[in-house]
Amino acid sequence: MVREKDVCWEYAEKLDGNKVRCKFCLRILNGGISRLKHHLSRLPSKGVNPCTKVRDDVTDRVRDIIGSKETPSTKKHMLIETKALANISPEKPLLSVEPITPIARIFPPIGQAISSSGNNQENAERSIALFFFENKIDFGVARSSSYHQMIEAVGKCGSGFIGPSPETLKATWLERIKSEVSLQSKDVEKEWAMTGCTLIAETWTDNKMKALINFLVSSPSRTFFYKSVDASSYFKNLKCLSELFDSIIQDFGPENVVQVIVDNTLHCTGIVNHILQNYGNVFVSPCASQCINAMLDEFSKLDWVNRCILQAQSISKFIYNNSPLLDLMKKFTGGQEIIKTGITKSVSNFLSVQCLLKYRSRLKVIFNSPELAANSAYTNKSQSVNCIAILDDNDFWRTAEECVAVSEPFLKVMREVSGGKPAVGTIYELLTRAKESIRTYYIMDEIKCKTFLDIVDKNWKNNLHSPLHSAAAFLNPGIQYNPEVKFLGSIKEDFFRVLEKLLPTPELRRDIPTQILLYTRASGMFGCNLAKEAIDTVPPGIWWEQFGDAAPTLQRVAIKILSQVCSTFTFERHWSTFQQIHSEKRNKIDKETLLDLVYINYNLKLARYLVSKPPEEDPLQLDDIDMTSEWVEEAENPSPTQWLDRFGSGLDGNDLNTRQFTAAIFGSGDNIFGL
């Protein structure tokens, strides 16, 4: 009866057992009113999914309750404070009275709270933590290089430092930082005359006919975000869409643009044919990462693969939704997660199966440990019995090993082409090697071998193959001079077709046959020891720049082709941010300011991802576990799609907003950047 008096019950419906239903999102939670509070507070908590539909005022109220854990004496003290403020005479100067805010009651200033400890490090960390929590800042921000630069710079200023005001940030620093980013972009443009560039068009559509296109430009030195366009009113109008792409290509210079990368959504609009017909030297290619993801997606839908994934998910769900079991798991794994969140649903599935396989023996120990055996609440559950049966099933583990063996070669390809580096010269070889791994693994099983190779070949032929990929493979010295590689006639045909497009007149092609012969026979500088030694250590485009002087015309073509990327990028995008930019509710000043902010924000993220990202980090894996994924969440609602999954389903009416966890931290009603 005491529990029923908790004020938070007005936000929930009590169900049988220890379950409650949130009145905002209708999610059913185990664990009663305590878990409901964490759910409504929208603060990340072990095994508790943040509510995506709760009102901000309710969130603030619940956070106050969680933070204060009010006792009768606390309430009495707050009442006295309120009366004292109310009795202040109007004639008395109010400047001497500091407002007592909810956060001040819960978290008194550092001097009052823990100044006696003398621990400056702890005081500083506490203040930073409060700043994150009060403003609903994603914890991942603490990984950014600019965050650490800020902390270091403030530390050098000493105790007298005063932070910039909102007005100074907007009026002075916004324009200054934007100019710095723009200058970096101008510096990179200088290399386009030699390397050319790739124009990337990222699309996002939803079931409300919203269609946004983000344009980026990529060359060997850097990739820059150019601008975001709301194409909702004309997304299916080829004339208007063509005019948009014409304007973007003209901005970069048609002579500089070697390639335009578009996704399947734009392939459906007819824009590909328009570009090919109107720009003789420009190629249009699909996103390689998206196409490889489509292969993995089809792999995961095969009955026996899907059954293995579902069994693995039943283990992870049971662990992540039971706190004592989760603590036990962290103890046995040294604090490591047993699942991984990838950039797409399919990537998450195969990475997580791989991770479970890694911790196979430890998972068995966990479910047979004395600590768990002593807790009948878990050992007697049907889910626990099911998990133990799966863990003891050798067929399950053999299938898991098979899933990993089949998927890993294609995950490797995806890593190589998704890292933002020029990879157009390796995609052909990488996929060929991945196919060979399938043939080797299934050397005794022709049926399964054919099943997987048919999936790969279908996606390669219909979605991924580009003449530019073939030409790049022919010009890649690592492939050309590999005695194990025999070029197919189709590759040479594509190569010659590309040459005719980039060198459209007989005069430009006059010396090409001789120069091709010098290259293929490794004559002159092509065959010197330095050139041979550099093949495995230098990117193909740079290799041609250093050793291709004997074939100057072919050298120029090779550098331009081999300097291109073949995918969009894999870091997480918050599409709700771009959606808010184009909101009709914004006035012109706010919109211009927000466009500047997003221009800076996106380019800083690109810089961090492409320049500062440690080489040991997996580009296919997100930093944090997605608490709304099918590997954790027990709810019936399907998990939202992630960025690469969005492309193919965009025109099918699926809602393609950002992941629920992101939306929980940055609610749809929040005004980003305070605008």
pLDDT in tens, 187-196: 889 899 999 9
pLDDT top residue among 91 and 65: 65
Mean pLDDT of 55-66: 80
pLDDT at 489 over 90: no
Q: What are phi and psi of 257, to 5 degrees?
A: -80, 115
d(CA 421, CA 637): 37
Q: Looking at this protein, which amino acid is placed at residue 644?
A: L
Mean pLDDT of 237-241: 90
Among the ranges given (98-102, 104-108, 661-665), the one the predictor scored with the smallest mean pLDDT: 661-665
Judge residue 93's burial from the number of C-beta atoms within 10 Å of its C-beta, 0-12 exposed, 13-18 middle, 19 or more buried: exposed
pLDDT at 469: 92
pLDDT at 78 over 60: no
Are 271 and 238 in contact by the 8 Å Cβ rule? The answer is yes
Residue 162 token pair: 């005063």
pLDDT top residue among 168 and 277: 277
Residue 316 contacts by C-beta under 8 Å, 6 or more apart in sequence? 338, 339, 352, 356, 631, 632
Are 390 and 396 in contact by the 8 Å Cβ rule? The answer is yes
> With bands split at pLDDT 50, 70 and 90, how would you rate the model's confidence at 134?
low
Find, among 363, 348, 381, the residue nearest to 628 by Cα. Answer: 348
pLDDT at 319 over 50: yes
pLDDT at 95: 39
- Torsion sign (Cα): 510, 515, 517, 523: positive
CA atoms lying within 13 Å on the CB side of residue 536: 4
d(CA 626, CA 662): 9
pLDDT top residue among 505 and 86: 505
pLDDT at 538: 92
d(CA 264, CA 267): 5
What pTM did the predictor assign? Answer: 0.73
pLDDT at 427 over 70: yes
Average pLDDT of the chain, as a whole number: 80
pLDDT at 131: 77
> With bands split at pLDDT 50, 70 and 90, how would you rate the model's confidence at 137?
confident
> With bands split at pLDDT 50, 70 and 90, how would you rate the model's confidence at 501?
very high
Mean pLDDT of 573-589: 60
Beta-strand runs (E) in 11-148: 12-14, 19-22, 28-30
Alpha carbon 398 to its chain centroid, in Å, reads 31
Find, among 327, 313, 334, 312, the residue nearest to 375 by Cα. Answer: 327
Three-state DSSP at 640 gives coil
> With bands split at pLDDT 50, 70 and 90, how would you rate the model's confidence at 582?
low
Find, among 420, 544, 429, 532, the residue nearest to 475 by Cα. Answer: 544
pLDDT top residue among 57 and 409: 409
pLDDT at 412 over 90: yes
Phi/psi region, residue 72 (left: phi>0; alpha: psi -120 to 50; beta: rest), is: alpha
pLDDT at 476 over 90: yes
pLDDT at 394 over 80: yes
Mean pLDDT of 453-474: 91
pLDDT top residue among 196 and 622: 196
d(CA 321, CA 666): 24
pLDDT at 584: 58
pLDDT at 80: 38
d(CA 558, CA 183): 28
> With bands split at pLDDT 50, 70 and 90, how would you rate the model's confidence at 583?
low
Mean pLDDT of 39-48: 69
What distance, in Å, lies between the first and last C-alpha atoms of the chain?
A: 46
Q: What is the dihedral of CA 19, 23, 27, 29, to 10 degrees?
A: -20
Find, among 280, 285, 284, the residue nearest to 501 by Cα. Answer: 280
Q: Looking at this protein, which amino acid is placed at residue 489?
A: G
pLDDT at 83: 41
Residue 593 token pair: 């300011």
pLDDT at 656: 29
pLDDT at 102: 47
pLDDT at 658: 29
pLDDT at 45: 53
Determine what percent of the chain is predicted with pLDDT higher than 70.
Answer: 78
Mean pLDDT of 201-218: 83
Mean pLDDT of 447-455: 96
Residue 268 contacts by C-beta under 8 Å, 6 or more apart in sequence? 651
pLDDT at 154: 83
pLDDT at 596 over 70: yes
Residue with tokens 């050798």: 394
> With bands split at pLDDT 50, 70 and 90, how would you rate the model's confidence at 586?
low
Are 628 and 640 in contact by the 8 Å Cβ rule? The answer is yes
pLDDT top residue among 64 and 414: 414
Determine what percent of the chain is predicted with pLDDT higher than 90.
Answer: 38
pLDDT at 110 over 60: no
pLDDT at 19: 83
pLDDT at 68 over 80: no
Residue 664 token pair: 């929980």
pLDDT at 101: 47
Judge residue 419's burial from the number of C-beta atoms within 10 Å of its C-beta, 0-12 exposed, 13-18 middle, 19 or more buried: buried
pLDDT at 639: 40
> With bands split at pLDDT 50, 70 and 90, how would you rate the model's confidence at 240?
very high
Phi/psi region, residue 435 (left: phi>0; alpha: psi -120 to 50; beta: rest), is: alpha
Residue 238 token pair: 């080829």
Other Cβ atoms closer than 10 A to 91: 5
> With bands split at pLDDT 50, 70 and 90, how would you rate the model's confidence at 89?
very low
Total length of the chain? 675
Are 54 and 40 in contact by the 8 Å Cβ rule? The answer is yes
